[in-house]
Structure 1
Amino acid sequence: MPAIAAPASVSAPAAPVTPGADFEALARQDPEIADVVRAEVRREAQGLQLIAAENFTSPAVLAALGSPLANKYAEGYPGARHHGGCEVVDAAERIAIDRAKGLFGAAHANVQPHSGSAAVLAAYAALLKPGDTLLAMGLPSGGHLTHGSPVNFSGRWFDVVGYGVDAESGLIDYEQVAALARTRRPRAIVVGSISYPRHPDYAAFRAIADDVGAYLVADAAHPIGLVAGGAAPSPVPYADVVCATTHKVLRGPRGGMLLCGEELAERIDRAVFPFTQGGAQMHTIAAKAVAFGEAAGPAFATYAHQVVSNARVLAEGLAGEGFAVTTGGTDTHLITADPAPLGMDGREARALLAAAGVVLDTCALPYGEGRGLRLGTAAVTTQGMGEAEMARIVALFALALRGERNAPTEVRELARRFPPYRG
């Protein structure tokens, strides 16, 4: 497992190791790529990984990803494949499905989507026709590309209406959502975002969708791991379809999944295969099963709640340093903050932080002209960091943004105490 079980007081643990199955075979066969892997392991271990969409998988997940299950072509579903010899991999997919259903209390689960975007595409394909109206969070307020960006299929295939947030509080304006729904009569309403740090009111969205006869699609790519750990409300009882990723806070392999009721199960499955995807990636599905099993345990629940506690401490600390923290804080793993009060925009701040070894993203700001910072606590919490380390990270932010020469050294020292993988 990653280092979450290690107490925060542990200092100078054993050196990080190179994860992955049979790495020495790779080193012998292709030393050039092996060097790339080693370099990435060093990069991860020597800095602070605060990208909200990233995490460290367990060695067990990595082992499944590197297994011979990668060899099997398996178009279709368990018991109904278009290729022979799928009896063994069928077992892996059935395990993944059963674990996902149990973990999230869903009647049906599809674990084949290759990504979160692929899951959203399949949900739209199951429920909508080109030209239908879709109501989703506008991109400047935190919506995803699949929520109507003109460069994405969603913005080209559908008539997308964007809802926003209150200009003062930064919170979702539910009156605006209801008014837009009544005026535009969307076929589907999407609840979810990539940079909204508060829990959405799923019951309110359900009521709005029912009022206008719309489907409710929850894009829970970011909070689904918190949902698994009991640290966030679940969209499953409210949404017709839940789209999610299996990485981020859930800490599994890169991929997607869909959850729904029995009445939509066949439509969802056919929207994934054969409509939007071909062969399932059986090694990834097995790794998803491993992650679901890990997330069902009490240690993961402790982890998920620690992720939120760490994010709240980090948000409070950044506000104390002068950042304008969106919505005044966070309920989740995610923080968005505007460094404009410090005399810089998000791009400049990100560059200064990156030079010190602190890795995060920029994001759009509602009603803002510049870029903000988007960061999360999932990965550093996996490494074993707690509230004390979050306070230290705030201090390191201040050092980096002032251009202090010792900032990179201080960042490496903190990271060294909490390697992602311990040997």
Structure 2
Amino acid sequence: MPVTPATAADVLRGRDPEVAALVDAEQDRQASTLQLIAAENFTSAAVLAALGSPLANKYAEGYPGARHHGGCDVVDAAERLAIDRATTLFGADHANVQPHSGSTAVLAAYAALLRPGDTVLALGLSHGGHLTHGSPANFSGRWFDFVPYGLDPATGLVDHAQVRSLARTYRPKAIVCGSIAYPRHLDHAFFREVADETGAYLIADAAHPIGLVAGGAAPSPVPYADIVCATTHKVLRGPRGGMILCGADLAGRVDRAVFPFTQAGAQMNAVAAKAVAFGEAATPEFAAYTRQVVANARVLAARLAEEGLTVVTGGTDTHLITADPAPLGTDGRTARARLAAAGIVLDCCALPHTGGPDTAEADVRGLRLGTAAVTTQGMAEKEMVRIAVLLAGVLRGDLDARRARDDVRELAGEFPPGPR
């Protein structure tokens, strides 16, 4: 029987009422609030069914045809299916679908190409770089010498001149292009040119845009990068997990970096769920979904600007929006808490060029929000305007939390969680 949130709770009620209550509570939270976290989405019932399938019982260290455990014929087929669908969907020579997360995918990419102490050029953390792009609290900042590049203070776009200058000066072993808060398309051809000029590998961290890439709503890094790291959730709408795409020349190094170097047994239920998600992402319906995600984000960004927030780069090309709520008299962390009380769930984030040190934790004056989940629910441009008005009204103090919460619950009730 496929396991949906409802049936999972039904099974649990007779076995573990405490956990069942938590499942019910989370289902209610998702159904009665607006999910604007840029890294979240709703999976299909088919993805959830694969996650809750008997494949969860199988231990399968290694790769298809070369496992360290017996009885792997079925899961071998499942993994091969996921690999075939991923390589077809993204036009890659090779895919590794075993990483447990986007961060472990990045770790494996570094392990495949680098040695401790190597120099890496990546977007600075205060400008939207990820923890795996050199945070001192993360393995990346402890093992490698990261040199940060930044955004142009006038435009908010990647400073290409600075990237080229730093690459020529430091001659990094690898250049990372990717961000958790950059709303525009990255110029992968430019990064490839700089990498070739300076003898560096190019690693694309495409955790956020990979779902848009799958639907044809964003340019693909695959033809340009030596290795592409990604998540399978976010816009891609699959299970929480990671994957790596690369050319045939690096396939062996990537596979050895995932297993046995960075992790052991694959989660075969998650691998099967990734196969389901890749299959769904290859459909015309998913392509239309990604186009609507971007259309919604552009409308939401424009209306937030009209309501008085400062939208970084003046808009977005993707599902993601970064905005400064300071003109409405608040900072990111305070704004997030006030919006949460009203049932509007989003993140705060660092804003570039605010004078703090280059760490992701240094400055959380901004807001980061995305349209992947609400678009999955079936919301369109009209609803984005309603959301922007509600959000700004709460931050300005025009709407108290209780009244706003009622409005949010009404809007969310019109669009139940999950793909339409």
Q: What is the deviation of 1:421?
A: 4.2
CA 1:20–1:407 in structure 2 vs 1: closer, same or farther (change >3 Å)?
closer
* Rounded Cα–Cα distance in structure 2 between residues aligned with 1:224 and 1:98: 17
Matched-pair contact (CA < 8 Å) for 1:222–1:245: yes
Q: 1:26-83 deviations in whole A, cap 9, x for unaligned?
A: 1110010000000000000001000000000000000000011000000000000000
Q: Distance in 1 between matches of 2:367 and 2:405?
A: 19
- The residue type equivalent to 1:318 in the other structure is L
Query: How much does 1:398 deviate?
Result: 2.2
1:388 matched to 2:385? The reply is no
TM-score by length of 2: 0.95
Superposition CA RMSD, Å: 1.3
Looking at structure 1, the residues matched to 419 and 260 of structure 2 have their Cα atoms a distance apart, in angstroms, of 42
Which of 75, 86, 89 lines up with 2:61 in the alignment? Answer: 75
1:332 aligns with 2:318: yes
2:406 pairs with one of 394, 406, 409? 409
Give the corresponding residue for 1:352: 338
Alignment match of 2:114 (pick from 115, 121, 128): 128
Number of residues paired by the alignment? 407
CA contact (8 A) 1:131 1:159 kept: yes
Q: Which ranges of 4 or more aligned residues in structure 1 deviate by more than 4 Å?
A: none
Q: Give the one of 248, 259, 273 matched to 1:273.
A: 259
* Structure 2: runs of 5 or more not aligned: 356-362
Q: What TM-score, normalized by structure 1, do the two folds share?
A: 0.95
1:372 aligns with 2:366: yes
Aligned to 1:235: 221
Shift of 1:23: 3.8
| Alignment deviations for residues 144-176 of structure 1 (CA, whole Å, 9 cap, x no partner) | 000000000000000100000001100000110
Measure the CA separation in 1 of the matches of 2:78 and 2:409: 40
User: 2:139 pairs with 148, 153, 158, which one?
Assistant: 153
Q: Report the identity percentage.
A: 74
1:77 partner amino acid: Y
Aligned to 2:100: 114
- Distance in 1, matches of 2:419 and 2:320, equals 26
Within the alignment, does 1:96 sit opposite 2:72 as a pair? no
SS of equivalent to 1:393: helix
**One-letter amino acid matched to 1:360:** L
Secondary structure (helix, strand or coil) at the match of 1:366 reads coil
Q: Which amino acid aligns with 1:305?
A: R
Q: 2:283 & 2:134 partners in 1: Cα distance?
A: 37
2:380 maps to amino acid: G
The secondary structure found in structure 1 opposite 2:5 is: coil
User: Counterparts of 1:63 and 1:26 in 2: how far apart (Å)?
Assistant: 16
The question of whether the paired residues in 2 share the 8 Å contact of 1:251 and 1:291 is answered with: yes
CA distance in 1, matches of 2:295, 2:7: 34
CA distance in 2, matches of 1:368, 1:334: 21
Deviation per residue, 1:104-154 (Å, 9 max, x gap): 000000000000000000000000000000000000110000000000000
| Partners of 2:246 and 2:6 in 1: CA distance | 34
Q: Distance in 2 between matches of 1:105 and 1:414?
A: 39
Paired residues of 1:74 and 1:82 also in contact (CA < 8 A) = yes
- Please tell me whether the aligned partners of residues 195 and 202 of structure 2 are also in contact (alpha carbons under 8 angstroms): yes
The alignment status of 1:194 with 2:180, answered yes or no, reads yes
Distance apart, 1:395 and its partner CA? 1.0
Question: 2: CA distance between counterparts of 1:118 and 1:317?
Answer: 37
**Letter of the aligned partner of 2:282 in structure 1?**
A
1:402 & 1:264 partners in 2: Cα distance? 52
The offset of 1:342, in angstroms, is: 1.2
Counterparts of 2:289 and 2:189 in 1: how far apart (Å)? 27
Distance 1:137 1:68, change over 3 A: same
Match of 2:38 in 1: 52
Q: Check whether the contact 2:377–2:419 (CA below 8 A) recurs between aligned residues.
A: no
Higher relative contact order (CA 8 A, sep 6+): 1
SS in structure 2 at match of 1:373: strand
Partners of 1:401 and 1:198 lie apart in 2 by 26
What is the CA deviation profile of residues 220-256 of structure 1, one whole-angstrom value per residue up to 9, with x for unaligned ones? 0000000000000000000000000000000000000
Q: Secondary structure of 1:170's match?
A: coil
Distance 1:39 1:23, change over 3 A: closer
Q: Which moved more, 1:397-406 or 1:229-238?
A: 397-406
CA contact (8 A) 2:42 2:419 kept: no
Q: Please list the CA deviations of residues 286-323 of structure 1 after superposition, one character each: whole Å capped at 9, or x if unmatched.
A: 00000000000000000000000000000000000111
Counterpart Cα distance in 2 of 1:379 and 1:344: 26
Match of 1:247 among 223, 229, 233: 233
Q: Is the 8 A contact 1:21 1:66 kept in 2?
A: no
Contact 2:9 2:24 in 1 (8 A): no
Superposition deviation, residue 399 in structure 1:
2.4
Mean Cα deviation higher: 376-385 or 335-344: 335-344
